[in-house]
Structure formats: structure tokens, C-alpha cells
Amino acid sequence: MKEFKYTITDPVGIHARPAGLLVKEVKKHASAIKIANKDGKSADAKKLLALMGLGIRQGDEITVTVEGDDEAEAAAAIEAFLKANL
Amino acid sequence: MALDYRRCAQEIVDHIGGRDNIAQAAHCATRLRLVIKDNSKVQKDYIEEIDGVKGLFESNGQLQIIIGTGTVNKVYDEFLSITGMTEATKDDVKAAAAAKQPLWKRLLKPIGDVFVPILPAIVASGLMMGLVEALGKAIPSFAGSDWYGFLDMISNTAFAFLPVIVAISAARVFGGNIFLGAVIGLAMVHTNLLNGWNVANVDAINSFFGVTDGVIPQWHLFGPILPIRLTGYQGHVIPVIIAIFIMCKIEKWLHKHVPEMLDLFVVPLVTVLATSLLTFTIIGPIFATMETWVLKGAEILVGNVFGAALMGALYPWTVIMGLHHMYNVIEAGMLGSVGLNTWMPIASAANFAQFGACLAVGLKAKNHKTKVVAVPSSLSAALGITEPAIFGVNLRFFKPFIFGMIGGIVGAFYGALTKIGATAYGVTGIPGYLTIKQPLHYSILLAISGGIAFALTWTMWKEPESEAKKAAGDEKSPASGDAPAPEDTQKRTAGEVVSEVPLGLSNVVITSSAGDIMKPVNGEVIPYTKIPDETFASGALGQGVGIEPAGEIVYSPVDGVISSVAGTNHAVGITGPNEQELLIHVGVDTVMMNGDGFTTYVKEGDKVKIGQPLLKFDSAKIKAAGHPNTVVVLLTNSDDYEDVRYGENLKK
């Protein structure tokens, strides 16, 4: 299992559009990927509504956990995606 | 403390006269909607005091008990179990309520529905026609000028071709093709037919010379029976509405029974042909005969004061029938025989009374739309053109129309008693001063008829609650538990007062093997690819539709569970049946508005039912912030289903 933390810099947080892009990215990987918000509530990152339900705003620190066969590369790709987009 | 639903339901049942007194029961987002057999058994005061009841009112033949979002369905379930009734849909209740209304109300409703949308056309024409005619009378040299000819033509266009306008509107009301309706309307005033306004004069001359047949050409389609007189239906209303009603029935029947392949050329052709035949051979002649009777009757009536008073009451009815254009014949006859037109004061009394009633409605109404229609309509009526006032206002509320009749009776009686008359014909109301011989008596006549109608309407007419509620700034927030039912909102926000557009909530906009998703807000549906935002349009967030909203409340389009509510209140996620993940996002980039202009009524984890209000938004604020207000409805996991379709009315 891989886990890393990331602080959101996008002014609108993980909202509809960035969330949609994130889900698309996440779906590329076979691993189970979860994102937890600052309160520790976590959601399946492949589900857009669940992800949006976390209510992640700018400045929030999120915890991403990746577990599966391709976890190493998945975690790296997602981290890169977050840095580029969120 | 939680509400005891069963007890609440039991108390309601006990105080509306028990199970036997309930014809039907349904509920909307906030209210129990009951059709009661005998309203006198309803103990309103008591019901208002029941724990859980927030208010009640009667509307459209229904007793509506306000209970509130989220609880009404529970009270309703208990209500059903106590009464042993079965669930009725809102449509059932509406139908039962409509059936309960008296026949005349059911007959009048379509007339109002047909007329309100066309009012702008006839109010403009009515005012202009009144002014032009008055000027023509006041300044004889103007009457012969090119300007007069031009203005006269423009101002009477809407009335001369009224059947066309009425036909289009009626086709829309009765659910037919409006272009076929236009064809029928046009046929009724076709240039190959004699102008109906002139025919009455021809008839009068004929009967004077003892000619009974032959001058007005006829077609004999079926040999000796059912001849068609080649006369147009200028200025007519009722025959047109009847014709279009029949047309729509024929058209709908054909659509059902004609194979789809042949539909496009069989249905329109047969519809137009069958309707025209019926109109010209049966509906038309019935009205022509009635016209003759009305003319004869009117001539006899005005011979004495009581008859004249009666005529003052009947006059507006003849306007409804479109028969009042024939009265010129009577007036011309009077001028020819005794040199005094005593008909004009009677017509003026009747018209001015409708003016008074209409003005009272305009001044008293809280509903902005009623106001802006009633005031100019009353001005037109004061100038003698009463169609806008009668059809658009007085008849719709009916009581003002009756009060107008009463004013007409008294005014006409006074006119006949004082034997006042005019020296010409063609104008009534204020322009009547130009032709009247006794202006003082005429002033009294106008004051009596208009005044009585105004006073009666002012004191005894009450704006229907449903109308008053639509008044601007008078809406309650659904959060207070009194959410407007979806259809109320539509009426308030749709462009027109009349069209009871089918509820968005029976309109499927996205469908797949996983289930149907309804239209959550009223407005125009566009495919997701046309949403003015790259991400939404790309389909990255799933397939679906955008809606250019006409309403401002988003209702749940599925039964499901709220899976997310944006912190800024402008978007809601719902998990529907079979794991459908639905996103409703109001506006584009509206996240920037930080919640200003948005209110949500649900929170994460709430169970919602179809039609339950989810959130309210302020289109004006969204636009002011520089964003499109398109409501985005996407099935975010549309990839999971292979048969997703989206668009308007997919299941119709």
C-alpha cells in the first residue's frame, strides 16, 4: 500500500470539474484508490459523487491511499496529476 | 419531538368528514391534496390547529393541507392506511377536481386559456382601433385621409384575422399542431369568401326586398343538404375554438391509428380536410343561424326599456360569440327610419360596464401579470373595444364579467328611459360623445354602468389565492416547509400565464437500462455537448443534458440518496436506483459565487423522492456574476451503462 499527503492549492477545491478530471486519471489505474479529507472521511476516488461529497477546499490536506498491483506507478501518476491540476 | 404522523393523519381524516367524504387523495412536495365531496363537512379551523399542519387552503377544487417537506409523505402513508384508500397521482386529483367544477367553468376555462396569450395582439389593436375610429368621427377630413386608411387597416388587422390568431392559440391549448390550426383559421377568413362583416348588411338588404336566397353564393358539396355560404368568419371566436377543438381530436386520433410511415402525409391532409368540412357545413351554419336570431331578438328587445335593460346584460355574451359586429345593421336601420340611433347607448352601457369591472380587477389584483393585462385592456374597453377586457380578464375570473352585466343592465335601462340616442354608428364608450345627442345623460349612463361594475368588482371580487400567490416578492422559501408544488413554480416562472406545460417531472431527460431520470427544473433541454463549458461538453463528467432554466428550483429527478452537496450549495450529487450517480450542477463556474444566490434543502445522506425540492437558485445573481445559468444534469457513471440516451421527453 502506498500513501501520501497533498495540500490542495486550486481555489475551488476538488469540485465538479477538477474532480471529474481526477476520477478520469484515477480510473486509468487498476489499484484501489482512496482519498481522505482533513477530517479523515474517505471516499473511493473512482466515484465522482463520493469524491465531491468530501467537500475538499483550497488549503485542505488530503490523504491518498493506493493499494494494488500497480500501486507504485499509480501513486506517482496521481501525485503528479494533483500537483499539475489541484 | 418528532411528529406523530398517524395521529396527524387520523385527526385530518376525522375533521374532513371521514373516509366517505374523500374522493381522492394525493400529495406533492409539501401538501396533502384532497378532493372532498362535501366541503361543508370540513372543519377548517380545527384542521389548522392539528399538530403538524402548517396551513390549508382550497384551490382548483382541491383542499390542500400544508404539512411540509419530508413529513407530508409519511402523513400521507398513514392517511392511506387509515382510510384504506389507494394512492392517487396528482393528475388523478386534478382530473377529479376538474370534473367537480361546474360545467360552465369547464367550458370557460379553455376560452381564457386560448385568449390570454394573444392579448398583446388584440390589446394593441383594440386601443389603436378605438383611437382611430374616434379621430375619424371627430375630424371628418381625417377620415378620408391616407393616414386614416393606413391606421385603420393596421389597427383592425388583428380583429379581421382574429380567427387565425385564435386558431393558433387554441391548437396550442388543445394540444394540436399549431400550423394546422393556422391553416383552419386562415381558411375561415380566406379571401375567396365574402367578408363576414359585410354579409350581415347584404342579408338585411335581401330580407328587405324579400330575397331569401341566391345573393350570397353557396357551394353545394352534398347536393341539396348542408350548403356552404361563402362567408368568412371575420372577428369570430367561438366557432374557431370549436373547430380547433375538433381538429385536435381528429389529429390525435389519426396519429394513434395511422402507421408511422404514412403519418406525415395522411394525418395533416385528413385533419385539415375533415375539420374544414365540419366547420363549413355544420359549425358555421349553426352560428350563422344564431346570428340571425340574435339580430332579430335584439331588434325586438330594444323596443322597450326592460328589453333594453336585458340587452345591456346580453350584449357582452354576443361579444363572446363574435356577433356584435352585426349590430351595425340595427343601428343603420334606426338611423334610416327614425334618425336616432338608440342602440348605441345600450351598447355603450354594456361596454363601459366591462371597462369598470376590468379596471377594478386591474387596480385590485396583486398578481403582476393580471395587473399589466387588465389596465390596458380596460382602456381599450373604455374606447369601445371590449374583447381584451372580456376574454382576457373579466370572463377568466367570471365574477367581474357578471358584475359588468349588472352595470350594463342598469346603464342600458337608464339610456332607454331617457330615450337618448346618437346620430351615427360605429363607436361606443368615450368616443360615443362624438355622436351622442345628449352628452349629459350619456355621462350619467357611463357613470352608472361603469361605476356599478367597478364598485361591485372592487368590493366583491377576490383574486383567486393561486393567482395572488404568484405575485412578485410574495413567494415563501421552500425551506419554511411551504415549498411551492412544482406546477406552481412553473406557472410563476414560465413565460406565459396560461400554458400548463406538462410537468418537467414526467419528462424523462436521461434514460438507460438503469432507469429514467426526470427533468429536474423547467426549461429548455440541450444535449450535454452544447453546455457552454468545455469540461461538461466534453463528456468527461458523464453524459446527460443541460437545461436553460425557466424555473429557479431544482427538484429531485430520481428517488435516491443525496451523496454530496457542494459546500457552496450550487451542486448536488444523488445516487439513484441501480447505482446511477447523478450530478446536478447549477450554472457554469458558479462555484466562484461561494454560495451566494443558492440555497439547498437537503444534506448528504438524505433520502429524496422524485419531485422533492433540492435547491433553489437565483438566476439573476448568476447572470450578474457573469456565468451561464445552465443547469447541468449528468449521469456521471454513464460509462457503466451501454444504452444511455438523453434529450427531451424521451418516454413520450
Question: In this model, does residue B59 exceed pLDDT 90?
Answer: no
Supply the pLDDT for residue B492: 34
Q: How many CB atoms lie within 10 A of CB B91?
A: 12
Distance CA B544, CA B576 (A): 14
DSSP state of B625: T
Distance CA B33, CA B59 (A): 10
Alpha helices per DSSP H over chain A: 16-27, 48-53, 71-85
Candidates A16, A49, A55; nearest CB to B567: A55
Q: What letter represents residue A86's amino acid?
A: L
CA end-to-end span of chain A: 23
Question: In this complex, is the C-beta atom of A12 within 8 Å of any C-beta atom belonging to chain B?
Answer: yes
Q: Indicate yes or no: CB of A16 within 8 angstroms of CB of B581.
A: no
pLDDT in tens, B119-171: 778 777 877 877 887 788 788 888 888 999 899 889 888 888 888 999 999 99
Contact B550, B495 (CB under 8 A): yes
| Cβ–Cβ gap A17/B541 under 8 Å | yes
Instruction: Note the pLDDT tens digit of each residue in B608-626.
Output: 888 788 888 888 888 888 8
**C-alpha cell, B521:** 427544473
Q: Report how far apart, in Å, the C-alpha atoms of B442 and of each of B347, B416, B445, B446 are.
A: 12, 11, 5, 6
What are the strands of the beta sheet with B560-565, ordered from one edge? B523-527, B543-549, B631-635, B581-586, B571-575, B560-565, B607-608
| Contacts with B539 from chain A: Cβ below 8 Å | none
Q: Averaged over B294-314, what is the pLDDT?
A: 87
A24 touches chain B (CB under 8 A): yes
> Looking at the partner chain, which of A12, A24, A52 has a beta carbon nearest the beta carbon of B573?
A52
Distance of residue A64 Cα from the nearest chain B Cα, in angstroms:
19
Taking contacts as CB-CB distances below 8 angstroms, the residues of chain B near A48 are 541-542, 573, 581, 583, 636-637
The total number of residues shown for chain A amounts to 86
- Top residue of A26, A48, A60 to mutate, by most chain B CBs within 10 Å, is A48
CA B610 – CA B267 distance, rounded (Å): 36
B28 is catalytic: yes
Band (B450; pLDDT cuts 50, 70, 90):
very high
Q: What is the mean pLDDT of residues B63-79?
A: 79
> Out of B6-15, B398-407, B534-543, which region has the weakest mean confidence (pLDDT)?
B534-543
CA B194 to chain centre: 32
Q: What is the pLDDT of residue B473?
A: 40
CA atoms of B136 and B169, how far apart (whole Å) = 32
CB atoms within 10 A of CB B135: 16
Q: Are A48 and B585 in contact (CB < 8 Å)?
A: no
Cα(B144)–Cα(B203) distance, integer angstroms:
27
Beta-carbon contacts of residue B195 (< 8 Å; ≥ 6 apart): B160, B231, B232, B234
Mean pLDDT (chain B) is 80
Confidence class for position B501, pLDDT limits 50, 70, 90 = very low
Using alpha carbons, list the distances in angstroms from residue B634 to B532, B629, B638.
14, 15, 8
Helix axes B178-188, B238-257, angle to 10 degrees: 140
Q: Around B629, how many Cα atoms within 13 Å sit in the side-chain half-sphere?
A: 23
- Parallel, antiparallel, or unpaired for β A2-7 and B218-219? unpaired
State pLDDT tens for residues B381-439.
998 888 889 888 898 888 999 999 999 999 999 999 999 998 887 788 988 888 888 99
What does B116-173 look like in DSSP terms, one character per residue?
HHHHHHHHHHHHHHHHHHHHHHH-HHHHTSHHHHHHHHHHHHHHHTHHHHHHHHHHHH
Q: CA gyration radius for chain A?
A: 11
- Whether the CB of A38 is below 8 Å from some CB of chain B: the reply is no
Q: What SS3 class is residue B210? A: coil
Which grid coordinates are listed for B136? 375619424
CA distance B566 to B627: 17
Which of the two residues, B64 and B500, has the higher pLDDT score?
B64
How far apart CA B569 and CA B548 sit, in angstroms, is 19
Render pLDDT for A14-63 as a digit per residue (tens, 0 to 9).
776 777 778 878 888 888 888 888 877 888 888 777 777 777 878 888 88
The whole-number pLDDT of residue B641 equals: 76
What ipTM is given for this predicted complex?
Answer: 0.75
d(CA B380, CA B352): 10
Contact residues of B toward A, CB < 8 A: 533, 535-536, 540-542, 563-567, 571, 573-575, 581-583, 585, 591-592, 604, 636-637
pTM (2 d.p.):
0.49
What is the rounded CA–CA span in Å between residue B181 and residue B165? 9
Q: What percent of chain B has pLDDT over 70?
A: 86
Q: What is the pLDDT of residues B16-31, one digit of tens each?
A: 888 878 877 777 767 7
Asked if pLDDT for residue B200 goes beyond 90, the answer is no
Q: How far apart are CA B124 and CA B93, in angstroms?
A: 39
Segment A64-77 mean pLDDT: 84
Helix (H) or strand (E) holding B73: helix B72-83
Question: Which DSSP letter does residue B316 get?
Answer: H
**B62: three-class secondary structure by DSSP:** strand
What span, in angstroms and rounded, lies between the C-alpha atoms of B412 and B313?
9
Kindly list the distances between the CA atom of residue B444 and the CA atoms of B137, B344, B384, in Å, as whole numbers in the listed order. 22, 15, 17
- In angstroms, the CA B270 to CA B262 distance is 12
User: Phi first, then psi: what are they for B540, rounded to 5°?
Assistant: -60, -30
What is d(CA B410, CA B415) in angstroms, rounded to the nearest whole number?
A: 9
Chain B nearest-CA distance from A17, in A, is 7
Q: Given an 8 Å threshold on Cβ–Cβ distance, is A53 in contact with B567?
A: no
Q: What are phi and psi of B557, to 5 degrees?
A: -90, -5
Cβ neighbors of B36 (< 8 A, separation 6 or more) are: B16, B17, B21, B22, B23, B42, B63
Using one digit for the tens of pLDDT, what is the confidence trace for B237-287? 888 989 999 999 999 899 888 887 888 889 999 999 999 999 999 888 887
SS3 call for B541:
coil
Domains of chain B: 5-101 (3.30.1360.60), 501-646 (2.70.70.10)
Which chain B residues are Cβ-neighbours of A12 within 8 angstroms? 591-592
B581 vs A13, A47, A54: nearest CB: A47
pLDDT at B256: 84
Contact A52 B583 (CB under 8 A): yes
Tell me the pLDDT band of B206, cut-offs 50, 70 and 90.
low
Does residue A50 sit at the B interface (CB-CB below 8 Å)? yes
- Assigned C-alpha cell, B305: 326599456
Q: Cell 488549503 appears where?
A: A59
A20/B592 touch (CB, cutoff 8 Å), yes or no: no
The whole-number pLDDT of residue B311 equals 92
Of B237-246, B303-312, B329-338, B519-528, which range is least confident?
B329-338
Are the CB atoms for B457 and B356 separated by under 8 Å?
yes
> B-chain residues within 8 Å CB-CB of A20?
535, 540-542, 636
Residue B468: what residue type? A
Q: How far apart, in whole angstroms, are the C-alpha atoms of residue B354 and residue B457?
A: 10
Q: Does A32 reach chain B within 8 Å, measured CB to CB?
A: no
Which of B111-115, B246-250, B370-374 has the highest mean predicted lDDT (pLDDT)? Answer: B246-250
Cell numbers that stand for B152 in this block: 385603420
* Total beta-carbon pairs less than 8 A apart between chain A and chain B: 61
pLDDT given for residue B483 in this prediction: 38
| The one catalytic residue among A6, A10, A12, A15 | A15
Annotation: CATH topology of A2-85: Histidine-containing Protein; Chain: A; (3.30.1340)
Answer yes or no: is pLDDT of B190 > 80: yes
- DSSP letters along B394-462, please? IHHHSHHHHHHHHHHHHHHHHHHHHT--BSS-S--SGGGGGTBS-HHHHHHHHHHHHHHHHHHHHHH--
Catalytic residue among B8, B15, B27, B28: B28
Distances (CA, A) of A65 to A1, B236, B451, B469: 7, 76, 81, 54
Burial classification of residue A60, based on how many CB atoms lie within 10 Å of its CB (0-12 exposed, 13-18 middle, 19 or more buried): middle
A57 touching B, CB under 8 A? yes
Average pLDDT in the B523-535 region? 83
Which pLDDT does position B351 carry in this prediction? Answer: 94
Q: CA of B586: which chain A residue's CA is closest?
A: A16
